[in-house]
Amino acid sequence: MVGWKVITLRKHKVSLPAGTVEEEFHSNLYQSFDGGWHTLRTKYLIRARNFALVVFYTAAKEVLRVALAVGRNLQARHGKWYDMVKGKGVLRKKGSVSFFLQDVAEYKKSLQEETK
């Protein structure tokens, strides 16, 4: 509505001192737009940006925490198997798998003794 009024005022050029009326109207209009933009920018956009950053960093922290917990659990679960295959851990009697792992461990020990 304000834009339409500005266009009509420019077309008709008020018969009174048109330059001063138009300049005053435009200066008031631009000041109100500038004040509104400043308020929007300082009050709302900066707060929204800060809130978005807080949400992002909180989510990133939680994702990292979950990833570390999953990594620790996987390391605890599969670390024993890894140590058994490398010949570092104690092997229990659990059927054919333990025989295979025992053979691998003995083979690795024999290789280590040969290199010494």
pLDDT interval class at 100 (50, 70, 90)? confident
Q: Determine the average pLDDT of the residues in 99-106.
A: 78
Q: Indicate if the alpha-carbon torsion angle 63, 64, 70, 71 is positive or negative.
A: positive
pLDDT interval class at 115 (50, 70, 90)? confident
- Give the gyration radius of the chain's Cα atoms: 38
Query: Is 18's pLDDT higher than 60?
Result: no
Burial (CB count <10 Å: 0-12, 13-18, 19+), residue 102: middle
| The two three-digit tokens of residue 96, written as one number | 């054919």
Task: Choose between 65 and 88: higher pLDDT.
Answer: 65
pLDDT interval class at 68 (50, 70, 90)? very high
